[in-house]
Amino acid sequence: MQKLDFGLVPVYMWGDELEEGAMQQVKNLSIFPYAFHHIAVMPDCHEGFGMPIGGVLCTREVIIPNAVGVDIGCGMSAIRMELPTIEKQHLSRLLEKIKQVVPLGFNHHKKKQDEKLMPKGYELEKIPVVKREWEAALYQLGTLGGGNHFIEVQKGSDGYIWLMIHSGSRNLGKQVADYYNKLALLLNEKEKSKVPRSHQLAYLRIESKEGKQYLQEMQFCVEFAFANRKLMMERIVDIFQTETGGSIVSWEGSSMINIAHNYVALEEHFGCKVFIHRKGATRAYKGDTGIIPGSQGSKSYIVKGKGNPYSFKSCSHGAGRKMGRNEARKKLNIEIERRKLESKGIIHALRTPADLDEAAAAYKDIDWVMQQQADLVDICVELHPLGVIKG
């Protein structure tokens, strides 16, 4: 960890690999007038909209839609199976069966999913964007999405086969994020906010109708994203149990580990109740179980949080990009990247040059990332990729 002084609050940064755009966004956060105590930057940090992905920001009085991002509630789920190994040929068949029940990329289900699976306890009249998108969301429930979202079968250092999913709130989260960011821009303009529009840090006041409404819609999306991963995982596990006879082996009493890494929550840090924005960052309170994925060519990890106060009890959400998507497609060679994965025996998702944005070389070295945050988490299980599905 290194401490940097840019503006109103200091910055605590884990690692030093930060491109110019992300560093400028960190500087913008440090002069944000409602920032609390300091800014925390995880080792997987890279440029996003307004706030860098891999950033942690605490505020009082206001919340920032762009400090959560468009994929609200995006996160990880993992289950381990009572299987010591799986043959590559058998795994290929299983992956094909998974693709038949889990729509990928922009695809949705052709039929609405059961409304009973949707988050409960909300009054739709008080969450207008969710109400508007409700019917569409029923077709999106149990779908993977594209980009860096994935389904992965892994071999754990504990001797078990693991199943892992990375996915979020699909288009529902984007609609909520876009609506409230635009609303925040209008409200900030009316109150003559001193935060430059170019910083993309438009905010909502916590005590305002709009702020309270965003928090409700955001929380719905977090729960929807969890329901989405849960439904996919149930269908994947059904396939594995039918085809292999393997059953779920609980991890510390839990059948499925689940964590989110794009959200805002009310927590206590440094003696104050504050709104913590984790954008591409995972909660890592002391004893918390977390999931930190690598790329499709590298290890992922099951970890335990150490509760480091200077990271606001957070850690990285993955390896983090070192190349933008367009840059990766221009610079990387599809045959070279495919050979790297095939030499490791991985059933990968690099089909065409358009997929190079998700090549392992587009991501930071996960071993380096884990070394940089050794004071944030302890590694419990190393997971090596065997087969990968992407949108």
pLDDT tens figures, 250-271: 999 899 999 999 999 999 999 9
Residue 274: pLDDT over 80: yes
**Average pLDDT, rounded, for the chain:** 96
pLDDT of residue 308: 98
pLDDT of residue 331: 96
Amino acid at 136: A
Tell me, yes or no, whether 335 lies in a domain.
Answer: no
Least confidently predicted of 161-165, 218-222, 244-248: 244-248
Closest CA to 277 of 119, 61, 77, 51: 51
The string of pLDDT tens digits covering residues 376-391 is 999 999 999 999 999 8
- Roughly how many angstroms between the first and final C-alpha of the chain, as a whole number? 35
Tell me, yes or no, whether 115 lies in a domain.
Answer: yes
Please state, in angstroms and as integers, the Cα–Cα distance from residue 67 to each residue in 166, 204, 218, 264, 277, following that order: 20, 12, 12, 8, 6
The string of pLDDT tens digits covering residues 32-52 is 999 999 999 999 999 999 999
Q: E strands within the chain?
A: 2-5, 10-13, 35-46, 53-59, 62-63, 75-81, 150-156, 161-167, 204-205, 248-249, 257-260, 262-269, 272-279, 281-283, 289-292, 300-305, 314-316, 377-390
Residue 6: pLDDT over 90: no
Whole-angstrom Cα distance, residue 1 to residue 194?
31
Tell me, yes or no, whether 357 lies in a domain.
Answer: no
pLDDT of residue 7: 87
Q: Which domain holds residue 33?
A: 2-322+363-390
Residue 17: pLDDT over 80: no
Q: With beta carbons less than 8 A apart as the criterion, state whether 42 and 280 touch.
A: yes
Consecutive H or E run containing 233: helix 209-244
pLDDT of residue 206: 97
pLDDT of residue 135: 97
Q: Mean per-residue pLDDT for 141-154?
A: 96
The string of pLDDT tens digits covering residues 176-198 is 999 999 999 999 999 999 999 99
Task: Provide CB contacts within 8 A for 200, sequence distance 6+.
Answer: 49, 50, 66
pLDDT of residue 18: 86
Q: With beta carbons less than 8 A apart as the criterion, state whether 13 and 240 touch.
A: no
Q: With beta carbons less than 8 A apart as the criterion, state whether 69 and 259 touch.
A: no
Please state the domain count of the chain: 1
The string of pLDDT tens digits covering residues 74-108 is 999 999 999 999 999 999 999 999 999 999 999 99
Kindly indicate the confidence band of residue 133, based on its pLDDT and cuts at 50, 70 and 90: very high
Residue 231: pLDDT over 90: yes
Residue 16: pLDDT over 90: no
- Quickly count: other Cβ atoms within 10 Å of residue 80's Cβ: 25
Cross-strand partners of 62: 205
pLDDT of residue 351: 92
Tell me, yes or no, whether 187 lies in a domain.
Answer: yes
Say how many residues make up the chain. 391
Tell me, yes or no, whether 16 lies in a domain.
Answer: yes
Q: With beta carbons less than 8 A apart as the criterion, state whether 351 and 388 touch.
A: no
Check which CATH number belongs to the domain holding 317 and give it. Answer: 3.90.1860.10
Q: Please tell me the pTM assigned to this model.
A: 0.96
Q: Is 149 a catalytic residue?
A: no
The string of pLDDT tens digits covering residues 309-336 is 999 999 999 999 999 999 999 999 999 9
Tell me, yes or no, whether 42 lies in a domain.
Answer: yes
Residue 129: pLDDT over 80: yes
Residue 205 class from Cβ within 10 Å (0-12 exposed, 13-18 middle, 19+ buried)?
Answer: middle
Both tokens of 48, joined, read 């996003």
Whole-angstrom Cα distance, residue 292 to residue 55?
15
The string of pLDDT tens digits covering residues 333-374 is 999 999 999 999 999 999 999 999 999 999 999 999 999 999
Tell me, yes or no, whether 339 lies in a domain.
Answer: no
Q: Mean per-residue pLDDT for 237-249?
A: 94
Q: With beta carbons less than 8 A apart as the criterion, state whether 37 and 7 touch.
A: no
Catalytic pick among 38, 46, 261, 317: 317
Closest CA to 14 of 357, 292, 360, 327: 292
Tell me, yes or no, whether 60 lies in a domain.
Answer: yes
